[in-house]
Amino acid sequence: MQDLLELARRMMGRAHAPYSKFHVGAALRADDGSIHGGCNVENAAYPQGTCAEAGAIAAMVAAGRTRIVECLVIGPGPDLITPCGGCRQKLREFARDDLPIHLCGPDGPVRTVTLGELFPMSFGPHHLAKP
């Protein structure tokens, strides 16, 4: 998990958050062991920004991977930072309910939960599978 934490910290430092000043970093491990990072990128047209998790997912997909096996999210604290609802759905597209998500503050991991705990009864790719 240390490699994910280091990447997420680096990503958090690169966040573009001139409006909220709330910098978030994320790092994912794909099923081949590769890691991919992202940071939040705000925009003056507020809903047009992107979350750190979305950026990490885009980097993973751009690298040719489609399965997440571990996720780490870091924020400035002191409160526990969790993926927003939209990012929970985005993670679900590429991960199973048992995906470990490490929630971190500036000093490192605070708690680990599964995607299923954060997003119970989620709608996923299997719902769209043709019989």
The pLDDT tens digits for 76-108 are: 988 889 999 999 999 999 999 999 999 999 999
| Active site (catalytic) residues | 53
CATH number of the domain enclosing 67: 3.40.140.10
Question: What predicted TM-score, i.e. pTM, was given to this entire model?
Answer: 0.94
pLDDT of res. 124:
85
- 16-34: pLDDT as tens digits: 999 999 999 999 999 999 9
* pLDDT average, residue stretch 63-69: 98
The residue range of the domain holding 8 is 2-128
Q: Which residues contact 50 (CB under 8 A, 6 or more apart)?
A: 38, 40, 41
pLDDT band, residue 3 (cuts 50/70/90) = very high
∠ at Cα 43 (103, 77), nearest 5°? 25
Q: Structural domain tally of the chain?
A: 1
Lowest-confidence pick of 6-15, 19-28, 116-125 = 116-125
- Angstrom distance (rounded) from CA 119 to CA 11: 24
